[in-house]
Amino acid sequence: MSHQLDNVVSNLDQAMKQLRTAMDGIPVRREGFTDLRRRFVRSVSVLTTEASYARGQLPKD
């Protein structure tokens, strides 16, 4: 179970890096997109932190 969580956290990190790269040329100040993106990134950060904490609580099967 811990191995699956490791894969999820790794894939999520990779997806966030791809999002950052993809958004380099996009004007983000339109129609509240900046605020939406900021809230999304913060939510993903909380999820990643919680998942990393939970990893230590799971058996190493």
Cβ atoms of 55 and 5 within 8 Å: the answer is yes
Cβ atoms of 5 and 59 within 8 Å: the answer is no
Largest Cα–Cα separation, the chain: 47
Structural domain boundaries in the chain: 2-23+32-57
**pTM of this structure:** 0.67
Cβ atoms of 55 and 9 within 8 Å: the answer is yes
Q: What is the pLDDT of residues 13-59, one digit of tens each?
A: 898 888 888 777 777 666 677 788 889 889 999 998 888 888 778 77
